[in-house]
Amino acid sequence: MHPNGELILEGFEAFAKGDMEAVGALFDDDIQWHAPGTSALSGDYRGKAEVFGFFAKLQELTQGTFRQEIHAVLADDDHVVVLAEGSQDKPRPFTGQAVFVWHVRDGKAVECWGVQLDQAASAAALA
C-alpha cells in the first residue's frame, strides 16, 4: 500500500481504539474537515481543536456506539480515498456507506471530506 494509505489507515485504526493522541499525530495543525449534509454534525471544521470537537460530538450523539469498517483504501502521492461502512446503535440504529477523501502533504493529513452516501438517513439517525 502507498505510504499515504498506510498513514490514513493508521488513523482509522487509532480512532477505533479511542487513541486520539495517535490520531492527532497524523493531522496537520491546520487540518480541515468537511462534513456535508444537514445532520447535527454537518459543517466545516478547521484545526485540530475543532476536528476533535467534531469527533467528540459524534461520540456524544451516538452515545459511544459509532463504529466503522474499512472496505478499501486507495492512495497516491497527494490523496487517499477510503471506502467505509459506518454504523451506530443510538440514538437510532443506522448503517451506511461513506467515502472519505483525504489530502495528504508532507506525511500529514491536511484535509478530509467525509461523505455519507445516504445523507438523509444518516441525519435522521442522529435526530
- Average pLDDT value for residue range 43-50: 98
Q: 37's torsion region: left (phi>0), alpha (psi -120 to 50) or beta?
A: left
- Average pLDDT value for residue range 17-43: 97
Please state, as a whole number, how many other Cβ atoms lie within 10 Å of the Cβ of residue 70.
15
pLDDT at 100: 98
Span 10-25, pLDDT tens digits: 999 999 999 999 999 9
- Average pLDDT value for residue range 32-55: 97
pLDDT at 116: 95
Determine the CATH number of domain 3-126.
3.10.450.50
- Percent of all residues in the chain with a pLDDT value above 70, rounded to a whole number: 100
d(CA 1, CA 5) in angstroms, rounded, equals 6
Enumerate residues 6+ apart whose C-beta is below 8 A from 106.
Answer: none
pLDDT at 44: 98
Which residue ranges make up each domain of the chain? 3-126
pTM of the model as a whole = 0.94
Span 72-116, pLDDT tens digits: 999 999 999 999 999 999 999 999 999 999 999 999 999 999 999
pLDDT at 96: 97
